[in-house]
Copies of this chain bind each other. A is one copy, B any other.
Amino acid sequence: MFWTRFAMLLKDVTQAPVNPRKKPRQARAQATVDAILQASAHILVRQGFDGFNTNAVAERAGVSVGSLYQYFPNKDAIIAEMVRAKRSRLLTGLQAAEAAHEDAGLSEVLAALVAATIAHQEGWPQLSQALDRAAALMPLSEEGAELTAAILGVLHRVLRHHDVADAEVASLDLLALCRGMIDAALLRGEQDMDLLQARVMRAVLGYLGLRAM
């Protein structure tokens, strides 16, 4: 019928509230969600973004597409959740490093933060990279934005605590600097993390006008 061609005009004029999918309540549901996330990571690393489609993810996870869409409103939400989890882990690592060196000198705290950042990326650098890229291209969820702010916040707090001038800009610069160096190094397969750490620290301390430790 001709009118079906106009059905699109009727749908969803009002903005959708980013589809509240159900949360898993039973253990098997949680297992399904975990399987989906694990399969997603696997596919992202092995096939890249091109192989990453919901059918493939569901198949590899051993669940049906229908199940996938019970817990993720759309494909992006899977990526968003992986990014969220990754950010959350980094934040935890940084906070731990901060706490463990509360009374130490600036260089020492920064070294701990850099080490935590490297360790965080090291495990699965290809997945880390893929997720970082995706994160840059996606509108962040509210929680994602909060986590990003909190990550920057740790650095900012440390710098201010040690009376660094322009802590605001410095934290942005240092984060970008570290990310750039670490990503590039891991991407080209670098193995020696201590060496990488030392090089990053030279740049960081140089930026701040401090001498090497």
Contacts and interface: CB of A to CB of B under 8 A. Distances in A.
Nearest to A206: B206
A128 to B, nearest CB: 13
A48 interface: yes
Contact of A75 (B1, B206, B207, B212): B1
B133 A48 contact: no
A31 interface: no
A179 interface: yes
A166 to B, nearest CB: 9
A50 B169 contact: no
Contact of A177 (B3, B136, B172, B177): B177
Interface residues of A, number: 47
Interface stretch (A7-15, A86-94, A102-110): A7-15
A191 interface: no
Contacts of A134: 3
Interface in A43-101: 47-53, 75-76, 79
Interface stretch (A16-24, A111-119, A140-148, A180-188): A180-188
Interface in A169-213: 169, 172-173, 175-181, 183-185, 188, 199, 202-209, 212
Interface string A115-144: 000000000000000000110110000000
A209 B202 contact: yes
A4 interface: yes
Contacts of A133: 133, 136-137
B177 A173 contact: no
14 contacts: A1-B49, A1-B75, A3-B49, A6-B50, A9-B47, A9-B50, A49-B137, A133-B137, A173-B181, A173-B203, A176-B185, A180-B181, A202-B206, A203-B204
